[in-house]
Amino acid sequence: MGIRDTIGLDKFIIKYDGIFDLKGLYNDVYNWLTARKFEVKESVYKNKPPELEIKWSAERKKTHYIKDVIGIFFRFWNLKDVEIVKDGKKIKMQSARVFIRITPKVELGYNDIYKRNWWDHPFLIKLKEFINTWILRKELEFKHADALYYETVSLVDYIKSKLNFTMAKGAY
């Protein structure tokens, strides 16, 4: 892919050390993404106790030319099951150090209307760069990239709420 094939946005890092519901976190984040029409693909699930790594790629096609992609990498250290008492009931949860990296980007020209790859021919590569730089630049930056950025901020807030963070909502 060429230099103008993606609009990369700031990545988000979440670090946490404490007690949480791993299964609930996994399912809730997956459901949050699928509710927003993302197709989630899990490329890595490496479970070597007491460590766990999970890598997702969530993709949503907006047009035949523009696709939102959110990469999510979960890493858990010192993962162990614990029982806590909540509202008089014993609940099984997990204790761990948590690292989550969320990397959003807008992918451009992934597939044109003729189902042909943009990198097949040098002329098409130049045409794509011209379209992205001069014709679609403002729409890509202000409509698509900004929307994905703020949607990712909402995802980060949601994950932090699932990890029992206390914080103000939003990007600022």
What is the percentage of the chain residues whose pLDDT exceeds 90? 63
- Pick the more confident residue, 139 or 120: 139
Closest CA to 118 of 131, 105, 100, 106: 131
For the stretch 2-26, pLDDT in tens is: 435 788 899 999 999 999 999 999 9
The answer, yes or no, to whether residue 132 has pLDDT greater than 50, is yes
pLDDT at 2: 41
Q: Write out the DSSP string of 107-169.
A: EESSS-TTS--GGGSHHHHHHHHHIIIIISHHIIIIIIIHHHHHHHHHHHHHHHHHTT-----
Chain mean position to CA 24: 17
pLDDT at 171: 47
Mean pLDDT, residues 137-165:
90
Q: Determine phi and psi for 124, rounding to 5 degrees.
A: -65, -35
Note whether 145 and 9 are within 8 A (CB).
Answer: yes
- Pick the more confident residue, 24 or 129: 24
For the stretch 79-126, pLDDT in tens is: 999 999 988 899 999 999 999 999 999 998 776 555 566 567 788 778
Note whether 2 and 125 are within 8 A (CB).
Answer: yes
Mean pLDDT, residues 75-81:
96
Note whether 67 and 47 are within 8 A (CB).
Answer: no
Averaged pLDDT score across all residues of the chain: 87
Mean pLDDT, residues 149-171:
82
CA dihedral sign, ordered 158, 38, 129, 121: positive
